[in-house]
Structure formats: structure tokens, C-alpha cells
Amino acid sequence: MPISQQQKKQFRQQAHHLKPVVMLGSKGLTDAVQMEIDNALETHELIKIKIAGDDRDARNTISTEICSYQHAELIQTIGKTITVYRQRSEKE
């Protein structure tokens, strides 16, 4: 599901006004957090996630894990906040 640079630009514009809907705390990326991210992506498609911690490499690893697990696309990273997109699944 790779998206083009033009689509990423449009998603960045759409996400500009969004607030983070999921926030990772000191416990990190748990199954419950993954479920919340999944629910948020199903509902909104484009979400922001705030990742606590000062270690940039750890935040990058977590964002990669989220995108891989959720089959989502990383749109952008600004500081401790990432923007993620996943097209809504077709439910009959």
C-alpha cells in the first residue's frame, strides 16, 4: 500500500490541525495500545500518536513497529508526535 509523495503532502496538510488521539506512556507499546491505535485508524484513517521518551532512536523503533503491526504508512514525524495513515478496511 505504498503512497506517493503527493498523497503524503496532502495527508500532512490534513493532519496539521489534528491532535494526538493515542499517547504512549512509560509502559511503551503494549497490546492495549496497539488495539487503541487499530480502533483509531479504523475510525479516522489519519491519526497522530504522541510517543513519550527522550531517546530518538527508541521513538523511531516504536514508530516502525506501529506501522508494521498496523499495516499503516508513516506520514511524518515531528518531535515526539508521529502521523500515521491506514486506509479503512472494507466491511460488508
The per-residue DSSP string of the chain comes to ----HHHHHHHHHHHTTPPPSEEE-TT-S-HHHHHHHHHHHHHHSEEEEEE--S-HHHHHHHHHHHHHHHT-EEEEEETTEEEEE-PPP---
pLDDT digits (tens, 9 = 90+) for 51-68: 998 899 999 999 999 999
- Domains of the chain plus CATH, in order, are 5-85 (3.30.110.60)
Task: Provide the pLDDT for residue 2.
Answer: 79
pLDDT digits (tens, 9 = 90+) for 25-49: 888 899 999 999 999 999 999 999 9
Residue 1 reports pLDDT greater than 60: no
